[in-house]
């Protein structure tokens, strides 16, 4: 796992051009500035091609909401990334299964973003669907859902770095 002085969060989706980089940039923006050095946030995709830029709609939606994606380049998920992370947040149950296929020993710290910290339910009430190829409005909905889920995740992360 990651260096004990830095808490490492890894977001995982399919292509690492929409949802996981959006979650990465949004979580980084939600962290209090003084705690940012204590939390490393990254993202990867189970089917990503290394080096692709974030989708234009992802960049646009984040920018409209005051969040910079900087110079994101996609990365294919590796076993090493999973093993280095203190918390792995997969965008869907399928992504979680792919993570665990690479690193079964990470099961206790690998979760689905939309259900992390939520009360148990028979069905995920707010899944994060893949917006690829969709309109800007679909990307805005993806942004809202990810933001809602991160508001549940953030207190846990802050408690892990001793800020809560």
Q: Are 107 and 86 in contact (CB under 8 A)?
A: no
Query: Which tokens in the block code for residue 45?
Result: 């995709």
How far is 25 from 41, CA to CA, in rounded Å? 8
Question: Are the beta carbons of 91 and 80 closer than 8 angstroms?
Answer: no
With contact defined as beta carbons under 8 Å apart, do 74 and 51 qualify? Answer: yes
Rounded distance between C-alpha atoms, residue 97 and residue 100, angstroms = 5
Instruction: Spell out the alpha helix ranges (H) of the chain.
Output: 19-30, 56-64, 79-84, 93-102, 136-160
**Catalytic machinery residues:** 13, 19, 130
């Amino acid at each position: 796992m990651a260096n004990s002085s830095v808490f490492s969060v890894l977001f995982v989706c399919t292509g690492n051009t929409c949802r996981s980089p959006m979650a990465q940039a949004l979580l980084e923006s939600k962290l209090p500035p003084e705690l940012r050095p204590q939390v490393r946030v990254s993202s990867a995709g189970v089917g990503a091609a290394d080096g692709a830029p974030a989708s234009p709609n992802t960049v646009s939606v984040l920018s409209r909401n005051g969040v910079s994606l900087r110079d994101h380049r996609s990365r294919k998920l590796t076993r090493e990334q999973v093993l280095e992370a203190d918390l792995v947040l997969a965008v869907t149950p399928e992504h979680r299964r792919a993570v665990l296929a690479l690193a079964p020993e990470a099961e206790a710290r690998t979760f689905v973003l939309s259900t992390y910290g939520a009360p148990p339910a028979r069905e995920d009430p707010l899944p994060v669907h893949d917006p690829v190829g969709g309109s800007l409005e679909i990307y805005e909905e993806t942004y809202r859902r990810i933001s809602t889920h991160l508001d549940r995740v953030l207190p846990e992360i802050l408690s892990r770095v001793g800020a809560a």
